[in-house]
């Protein structure tokens, strides 16, 4: 399956969601930020718990503005650590857009109880925004617009 196909499948999940939640947030994070150190520690914690070693320590490299290692037992990574709340928090969705599409602008509006969002590539010419609409929440529609823009880039580059 191509990267564009993976993104399309994720977009279908986002568009069909009645509400956001941790499972969808993790699918988004795993797809868009698979090499994120925090995510890798969560995955390693879950692997160790599944292998019967919940007391093993997993050390995550320094992340965030304060630096410093995050050293926790595997069970803590597996059961307590979370990724951003992209589907329920506009702030988290916008942070993700900034990481995935640096410099792109965004807009969100509501009409008739449904949300509409766009992301627009920076350009000296008149750029065409990538638009998503009809999602249940602001976070979901922003993520849908982001995924739609990423799909368009993949198709444009033949991937």
What are the residue boundaries of the structural domains of the chain, listed by start?
3-21+85-156, 39-79
**Residue predicted with more confidence, 127 or 6:** 6
pLDDT digits (tens, 9 = 90+) for 27-74: 999 999 999 988 999 999 999 999 999 999 998 877 655 666 778 899
Query: What pLDDT does residue 144 have?
Result: 94
- Do residues 89 and 139 make contact, with C-beta atoms less than 8 angstroms apart? yes
Strand partners, 73: 57
Query: What pLDDT does residue 25 have?
Result: 96
Query: Domain 3-21+85-156 has what CATH class?
Result: alpha beta
Rounded CA separation 18/129 (Å): 25
Mean pLDDT value across residues 116-142: 83
Query: What pLDDT does residue 15 have?
Result: 94
Judge residue 52's burial from the number of C-beta atoms within 10 Å of its C-beta, 0-12 exposed, 13-18 middle, 19 or more buried: exposed
């Amino acid at each position: 399956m191509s990267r564009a196909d993976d993104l399309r499948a994720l977009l279908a999940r986002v568009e069909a969601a009645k509400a956001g939640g941790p499972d969808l947030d993790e699918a988004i994070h795993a797809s868009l930020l698979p090499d994120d150190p925090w995510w890798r520690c969560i995955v390693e914690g879950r692997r160790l718990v599944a292998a019967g070693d919940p007391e093993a320590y997993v050390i995550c490299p320094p992340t965030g503005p304060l630096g410093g290692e995050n050293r926790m037992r595997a069970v803590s990574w597996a059961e307590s650590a979370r990724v951003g709340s992209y589907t329920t928090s506009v702030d988290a969705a916008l942070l993700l857009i900034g990481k995935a599409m640096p410099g792109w602008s965004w807009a969100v509006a509501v009409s008739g109880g449904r949300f509409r969002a766009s992301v627009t590539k920076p350009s000296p010419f008149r750029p065409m925004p990538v638009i998503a609409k009809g999602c249940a929440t602001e976070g979901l529609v922003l993520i849908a617009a982001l995924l739609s823009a990423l799909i368009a880039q993949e198709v444009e580059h033949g991937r």
